[in-house]
Amino acid sequence: MPKTLFDKVWDQHVVTELENGQTLLYIDLHLVHEVTSPQAFAGLREAGRRVRRPDLTYATMDHNVPTDNPHHVVDLIAKKQLETLAENCRDFGIRLADLDSPHQGIVHVIGPELGLTLPGKTIVCGDSHTSTHGAFGAIAFGIGTSEVEHVLATQCLWQARPKTLKVELTGRLQPGVFAKDVILALIAKYGVGFGTGYAIEFAGDFVRGLSMEGRMTLCNMSIEAGARAGLIAPDEVTFAYLQNRPHAPRGAEWEECLRLWRELSSDEGAVYNKVVQMDVSLLEPQVTWGTNPSMGGSVHSLLPEVAAPNSAFSQQDLQNAYAYMGLSPGMSMLGVPVQHVFIGSCTNGRIEDLRLAAALVEGRRVASHVRALVVPGSKQVKQQAEEEGLDKIFQAAGFEWREPGCSMCLGMNPDLVPAGERCASTSNRNFEGRQGRQARTHLVSPAMAAAAAIAGEFVDVREWMQGKELNRVGSIQPA
């Protein structure tokens, strides 16, 4: 029987199945960070257990790291979590990319760039955006702290098999529109629940033309559509990205892996539980205006009326969102002033994102009322960007150039948006309080964020995509 990509990878990892549908899955890679691991390790200590496969476990520090001065951790909870992770990794023999490591960074950025993330693997982490790693043809999903303990102790995990949803994306994006806009538009169209109970496979000619960075952005936000995981069949783009990465296989082993990885795509005629299609050709740059990722749309569209018939949102939800965001029905996001711009996170803190943003801001100045941050997703992204001179371009334009970490994506470190202020953010969540108490978050692509920083308000970045900007964008021209 023809199988989907998801079925192939899942079936290769089944240890045993129960009649109630629960499957014991073998886990190939367990990524760990400071926030969701302390109790898991405490549980191991209490039970006198060891980590079953320290060699399949890899830890980093990201959420709590102060990006202006990583070693200067003032917050006591943050300090304790970082110290505890270091101690746990030492005691249990786990590799750790600590603050001094050249490999430190956001867990979902470093997994791929170190070649730990590979096609066909099962990958878990105590973090919802683990779905990012599915861009390589892995089954990757977030788990809770008790599950982290279970994986540490056994290298296995009980899971219910999700249903499969194929999202078929066709067409070519206009210049100035990116993978981030595609996933925001999908969520705006189908809602934050459309992936609930499913693993989403992104397929179609648009996906095949996309860089690994773009694919990771899609998979990263599948969780915001409610999905358990997002995945994409690996191809030559995937293999080219992975070759010679520090932990990627080499020599004869690499060749053997390629042979196996080339089988990792959905068979002709494979049946999905649900299929959704979208042509991306006419998509416009997206901005969220509300307090969940589905409350968004084109930067030109008018914000919905509270009493509109057939609205996807309840009146109460809309009223709450408008009150929180300081916006009103009937207006558009064009021209709405921003006080903060954040370029970074596991959604859009990769080298391609920074190249694009730098191309747009080169020779321009951040608006005087805007505080703009660029936070590379990892030390390696930072180093690469500096080798290319992107840091100089950002700083000359008035951006702050920071050390890697989750930063302003969430309020667990000093990079906060003050109450009532507005931020154009390349991250993935816009819930109330996400970037600080009463902070107002608008999710956008790196290009839209860069343009908002310069203009001081939301603009349509397509108008900025001519001439010199495109030259610098070079290989990362929209697919």
Ligand X SMILES: CC(C)[C@H](C(=O)O)[C@@H](O)C(=O)O
Among 85, 210, 410, 455, binds ligand X (CB under 6 A): 410
CB of 430 to ligand X, least distance (A): 12
- The yes or no reply on residue 340 touching ligand X (CB under 6 A) is no
- The yes or no reply on residue 358 touching ligand SF4 (CB under 6 A) is no
Q: Which stretch binds ligand SF4 (CB under 6 A): 95-103, 294-302, 405-413, 439-447?
A: 405-413
CB of 379 to ligand SF4, least distance (A): 15
CB-based contact 97:109 (threshold 8 Å): no
411 by Cβ neighbours in 10 Å (0-12 / 13-18 / 19+) ranks as middle
- The yes or no reply on residue 303 touching ligand X (CB under 6 A) is no
| Closer by beta carbon to ligand SF4, 62 or else 181 | 62
- The yes or no reply on residue 427 touching ligand SF4 (CB under 6 A) is yes
CB of 108 to ligand SF4, least distance (A): 6
Positions 229 through 248 that interact with ligand SF4 (CB under 6 A): none
Question: What is the C-alpha to C-alpha distance for residues 268 and 471, in angstroms, rounded to an integer?
Answer: 39
Question: What is the C-alpha to C-alpha distance for residues 350 and 108, in angstroms, rounded to an integer?
Answer: 10
Among 84, 128, 332, 384, binds ligand X (CB under 6 A): 128
| Closer by beta carbon to ligand SF4, 81 or else 427 | 427
- The yes or no reply on residue 127 touching ligand SF4 (CB under 6 A) is yes
CB-based contact 127:142 (threshold 8 Å): yes
Closest residue by beta carbon to ligand X: 128
Looking up tokens 């009150």 gives 323
- The yes or no reply on residue 224 touching ligand X (CB under 6 A) is no
Q: Which stretch binds ligand X (CB under 6 A): 127-135, 170-178, 252-260, 468-476?
A: 127-135
CB of 475 to ligand X, least distance (A): 29
CB of 61 to ligand SF4, least distance (A): 11
CB of 208 to ligand SF4, least distance (A): 26
Q: Which stretch binds ligand X (CB under 6 A): 84-92, 122-130, 287-295, 455-463?
A: 122-130
Among 25, 152, 374, 409, binds ligand SF4 (CB under 6 A): 409
Q: Which stretch binds ligand SF4 (CB under 6 A): 380-388, 406-414, 444-452, 457-465?
A: 406-414
Q: Look at residue 28 and give the partner it binds from ligand X, ligand SF4, none, a contact being a CB closer than 5 to 8 Å depending on partner kind.
A: none
Q: Is 219 known as a binding-site position?
A: no
- The yes or no reply on residue 127 touching ligand X (CB under 6 A) is yes
- The yes or no reply on residue 406 touching ligand SF4 (CB under 6 A) is yes
| Closer by beta carbon to ligand X, 101 or else 128 | 128
Question: What is the C-alpha to C-alpha distance for residues 316 and 307, in angstroms, rounded to an integer?
Answer: 10
Q: Look at residue 225 and give the partner it binds from ligand SF4, ligand X, none, a contact being a CB closer than 5 to 8 Å depending on partner kind.
A: none
| Closer by beta carbon to ligand SF4, 109 or else 182 | 109
- 137-156 footprint of ligand X as x/- string (CB under 6 A): -----x--------------
CB of 63 to ligand X, least distance (A): 5
- The yes or no reply on residue 265 touching ligand SF4 (CB under 6 A) is no
Bridge partners, residue 105, by sequence: 378
- The yes or no reply on residue 129 touching ligand X (CB under 6 A) is yes
Positions 92 through 121 that interact with ligand SF4 (CB under 6 A): 106, 108
b/e map of 425-460 (b: 16 or more CB within 10 Å)?
bbbbbbeeebbbeebbbbbbbbbbbbbbbbbbbbbb
- The yes or no reply on residue 391 touching ligand X (CB under 6 A) is no
Binding positions: 346, 406, 409
Binding residues for [4Fe-4S] cluster: 346, 406, 409
Interface residues toward ligand X, by CB under 6 A:
35-36, 63, 127-129, 142, 410
Q: Which residues contribute to the site for ligand SF4 (CB under 6 A)? A: 62-63, 106, 108, 127, 129, 345-346, 406, 409-410, 427-428
